[in-house]
Chains A and B, each alone.
Chain A
Amino acid sequence: MSDMALAQAFVDRKQVAFAEAYQRYRDLLYSVARSVSGSAPEAEDCVHDALVRVWSQPNSYRVERGALRAFLVVCVRNEALTQRRNAARHATIEAKTALLDRFERDAFEDVDHVELTRLRSAIAALPADQQKVLELAYFGGLSQSEIASRLDAPLGTIKSRASIALRKLTLAMNRPGND
């Protein structure tokens, strides 16, 4: 089944589409949750809960929303971030995610280095204040208010910097020959 056919079957809520989407993206979704969550069981909960929620709400995905893969990745990542922040409200947890730790130590030995190099050069081209917000948001998984507090900047400024940074990244990553 092509990605487009799978997306349409998912929109049509064919049971086979749910099963196929899980089989196709299970490792990716679990890895995304694992990069945010503190433990394997929490990551497992995040993937399960996000998929159940998406499938239980008939209008949650439609083709205008883009690739099903990207939609599910962001759903699971947001679920993991929410659960991590909820946990942080009740107890002190490790402030740094594994991803931020890897980013700071430049320890991405097990990923696609061509893509990583493209991403690094796109991030490096951003102004320093946008870079920092993007790093804390994506690699650190911090909330808007946490970033504002960390950088001692107004919340509105953080929102603007994050938004502009992601748009610039979109342009840079889609530009041919960016390596």
Chain B
Amino acid sequence: MNHITEEADLYALGLLEADERAEIDDHVSICDPCARRLARAEATVTTMVDATIALESAPPALDARIARFESRPRSAHPPARRFGWATAVAAAFAISTGILTQQHLALVSAVRTDGNALDALVHSHFVHAQFIAPGGAPIDAKVLYERHGMWYEIVASPGSTAWSETVQRRGAADVVMSNRFVARGDAVFMRFSDPGAVTALELRDGGGHILGVVKPQVARETE
């Protein structure tokens, strides 16, 4: 991504969509001038907030949810069969790949609200796989994917509360994540221009621990 200019102002004013913000977050995490530019815009919006918003007390229920998040186990993996997507936990989704970059990836919105995603599902040969916890047990989430790896759709059980689907590059580790948050019951649909680029898909909890992994078996021949 190039340096940001007016995007910093649009970001701070809340005019960008979540996937556009994710690209900027990715960039400002490594670019000092752009981080400072965004900081200036955010400071001005916060000045507007201070001038126009009267303070209300946060409800005790929010305190309790934050306390549960703070006190969550930080080292142990969650028990696989009890994977309930508890309300205090947001899970994260990450894609591990050898060559994937943000430019190779186009996040489309939840499949139910996106005609192109639905069209891709209807007109593709696809396979599916269950996410498997590190202990080897299946968890209540699944990925459907086009057999050449052109798109992936993550779905979770109706009991799922929420998860944050993330695609972000982690230094040289070649993990690409975004930080769009997905609402209850939604699915995540991702389209790729680089077939076979995805070598593994991971679901992670709010502490970054792996809840489940799928290694897609992508067809190499053309249809």
Q: Is the CB of B39 within 8 A of A66?
A: yes
Q: Is the CB of B58 closer than 8 A to any CB of chain A? A: yes
Q: How far is the CB of A167 from chain B (nearest CB, A)?
A: 7
Q: Give per-residue flags for A1-45: 1 if the beta carbon is below 8 A from chain B beta carbons, else 0.
A: 000000000000001001100100011111110110000100010
Q: Is the CB of B42 closer than 8 A to any CB of chain A? A: yes
Interface of chain B: mostly helix, strand, loop or mixed:
helix
Select from chain B the residue with minimum beta-carbon distance to A163: B6
The number of chain B residues with a CB under 8 A from chain A is: 64
| CB neighbours of B192 from chain A (8 A) | none
Which residues of B (41-91) have their CB < 8 Å from a CB of A? 41-59, 61-63, 65-66, 69-70, 89-90
Q: Is the CB of B15 within 8 A of A143?
A: yes
Q: Is the CB of A131 closer than 8 A to any CB of chain B? A: no
Which residues of B (126-172) have their CB < 8 Å from a CB of A? 162, 164, 166, 168
CA distance A22 to B64 in the complex (A): 12
Q: Is the CB of A73 within 8 A of B46?
A: yes
Q: Quick one: which of B32, B54, B177 has the most chain A CB within 10 A?
A: B54
Q: Is the CB of B107 closer than 8 A to any CB of chain A? A: no
Q: Give per-residue flags for B2-29: 1 if the beta carbon is below 8 A from chain A beta carbons, else 0.
A: 0001100111111111100100010011
Which residues of A (54-78) have their CB < 8 Å from a CB of B? 55-60, 62, 64-67, 69-71, 73-74, 77-78
Q: Is the CB of A49 within 8 A of B90?
A: yes
Q: Total A-B pairs in contact (CB under 8 Å)?
A: 202
| CB neighbours of B41 from chain A (8 A) | 166, 170
Q: Is the CB of A175 closer than 8 A to any CB of chain B? A: no
Interface of chain A: mostly helix, strand, loop or mixed:
helix
Whether A166 contacts B12 in the complex (CB less than 8 A), given A74-B45, A173-B47, comes out as yes
CA distance A166 to B5 in the complex (A): 12
Q: Is the CB of A119 within 8 A of B45?
A: no
Q: Is the CB of A125 closer than 8 A to any CB of chain B? A: no
Q: Quick one: which of B56, B57, B164, B166 has the most chain A CB within 10 A?
A: B56
The 5 closest A-B pairs by CB, nearest first: A66-B39, A163-B6, A115-B51, A64-B35, A30-B58
Which residues of A approach B to under 8 Å, CB–CB?
15, 18-19, 22, 26-32, 34-35, 40, 44, 47-49, 51-53, 55-60, 62, 64-67, 69-71, 73-74, 77-79, 81-83, 86, 89-90, 99, 102-103, 108, 110-112, 115-116, 118-119, 134, 137-139, 141, 143-144, 147, 159-160, 162-163, 166-167, 169-170, 173
Which residues of B approach A to under 8 Å, CB–CB?
5-6, 9-18, 21, 25, 28-29, 32, 35-36, 38-59, 61-63, 65-66, 69-70, 89-90, 92, 113, 162, 164, 166, 168, 177, 179, 181, 183, 204, 206-208
